[in-house]
A and B are shown apart, each in its own frame.
Chain A
């Protein structure tokens, strides 16, 4: 059986697409990550045009973030003021990202940009996660855990417009969150990701938000920025395929449930090492695609 995708303008096997959604959903449920950074490369490997993969993935992240956002709203673990500044920066970043994307698409270099940014970010994040989890795994069990440093945010409080973020118990300027939101917004638009894999560590280690607030606030930012990105991609590039997005989602929700159940059976360090290996494998596959001699020297597309 085949389904013809209206925007990608190609027939696909719906079962394979649902299975792909399920597999990535399983991993994201297991590891508690968004999964956009795995889904977009998978779609490209399947043969979906990279620009459509990125635009469609934005809308799929909106859908798959809903349940997380609702859960965190109920638990009151979202800092709305902080989230608001992140969204503000994110919206501007998404706009800039879309403009870059559109320009590079016109001159035919957008595939290279997508692949390169994936190789760089997946390589960096994967290597960092792997070394950290290996260090944790190899450390002797009786060694003292490193004491968490005092939350020194003086330099951010010294910047202009410093204000109190009550839920995060922070007194800092809104400029760093706006800049962080902006950078993640650019990445979201170009790579078709939510950007949680950058947002969460940055909020923890740079902005020094309390751990319990980080995930909820990051999700709050992601759902707004990916929604904006979806509308921008649809407007500027016509690359959001809603049929593809809903197919992925139907597999994704089931996969996420199964993954979450499988995840509780594994130790956190093992999980992180496993995720690092998957990330590095995807990175390696993309790198091979860039470096290896192509089977055909020409690329051709209708427009």
Chain B
């Protein structure tokens, strides 16, 4: 009896010491959008603990979620001869960027309830697509109709490269270390991003970790943007003065 208890205790201790877990860090916790910004390469570094031969036995999923953004979406309708946009639908609650990387297709790694609760993949993001007029008045819209706009939104934003579900990009280093390479597109929105990683083995979630990433406009870029939005009148006058000056300099340069 004593022996059996001891054996049980040992097993528990081993599994406690070696509880599988995952931890990540970002090489850069901020991404700066300046005049030369054409997208950014991001590397997530991480470690897996408590798993033997991680490269062969486990799966990793990373989810990068941009700040919540608002979008307008309209369907083109043929009116007489021309294609004109119809009613505006407002997309609310959707992130401005959504990138997942995984060692295998996510559907093979995680169970459906997990995919839904951890939003593994763009199809599980929750957002609304109400008609602009109805969103303002608070009248509930027709769900089936809005589903059409939700699907169209996902198609469009995937086409623009802002939502991507990618297999690959995860590479295992020596032992328990791994890295994930992610490319942020040039049109990525500014704001606070969340980065999360999930560790899976045989369809079971073993651990997770997350970090924050700050994407910011800097330098001249930020100066111009802030001025244009915070003091639009001064910015407009500045534009006119600069244009007059530039035109005058040009006319001097080419004076005969």
Contacts and interface: CB of A to CB of B under 8 A. Distances in A.
A303 B220 CA distance: 22
Interface in B119-158: 149, 152-153, 155-157
Nearest to A257: B254
A160 interface: no
A112 B76 CA distance: 11
Interface residues of B, number: 59
Contacts of B186: 2, 4, 10-11
Nearest to A235: B232
Contact of A67 (B38, B242, B254): B254
A260 B246 CA distance: 20
Interface stretch (A57-65, A163-171, A174-182, A202-210): A57-65
A66 B189 contact: no
B96 interface: yes
A53 to B, nearest CB: 15
B85 interface: yes
Interface string A243-285: 1011001000100010000000000000000000000000000
Contacts of A116: 82
A116 B34 CA distance: 36
Contact of A4 (B35, B232, B235, B240): B35
Contacts of A232: 236
A66 B248 contact: yes
Contacts of A92: none
A240 B235 contact: yes
Interface in A190-241: 227, 230-236, 238, 240
Contact of B88 (A108, A240, A296): A108
Interface string B33-45: 1111110000000
Interface string A2-16: 111011011100000
Nearest to B254: A257
B167 interface: no
A101 B38 CA distance: 31
A299 interface: yes
B244 A112 contact: no
Contacts of B244: 62-63, 66, 227
